[in-house]
């Protein structure tokens, strides 16, 4: 079975896109929480987290894990903000609970 020219081009592009040291899925998942935190806070990515981003661009399974974790953490952050708002009185001061 011969490859069509567009398949050959796609294969060559994938090979050219590889790095000398690729991260595995286990390595990516281990750093995923830190990656999401940086993403949510808008901080710049460290070199280690850039490797995670590159892995996520190539691996659909890890990308799915990333999206689920990001949604969960964003929901928790939103819920935490609502709880803080409930603690504020109408003048914007934090209630003192004793």
This model's pTM is above 0.75: no
Residue 43 lies in a domain: yes
Residue 62 lies in a domain: yes
Domain interval for residue 28: 24-98
Residue 11 lies in a domain: no
Residue 53 lies in a domain: yes
- Name beta bridge partners: 88: 94
Question: What is d(CA 31, CA 38) in angstroms, rounded to the nearest whole number?
Answer: 11
Bigger pLDDT: 98 vs 40: 40
Cβ neighbours of 78 (radius 10 Å): 10
What SS3 string covers 26-49? HHHHHCHHHHHHHHHHCCCCCHHH
| Helix 60-87 / helix 32-41 crossing angle, nearest 10 deg | 50
Domain count within the chain: 1
Residue 80 lies in a domain: yes
Per residue in 46-76, pLDDT tens?
A: 888 999 998 999 899 999 999 999 888 888 8
């Amino acid at each position: 079975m011969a490859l069509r020219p567009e398949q050959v081009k796609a294969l060559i592009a994938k090979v050219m896109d590889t790095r000398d040291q690729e991260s595995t899925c286990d390595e990516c998942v281990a750093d995923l929480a830190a990656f999401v935190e940086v993403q949510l806070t808008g901080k710049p990515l460290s070199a280690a987290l850039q490797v995670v981003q590159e892995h996520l661009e190539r691996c659909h399974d890890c990308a799915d894990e990333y999206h689920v974790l990001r949604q969960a953490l964003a929901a928790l952050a939103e819920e935490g903000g609502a709880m803080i708002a409930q603690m504020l009185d109408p003048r914007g001061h934090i209630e003192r609970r004793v």
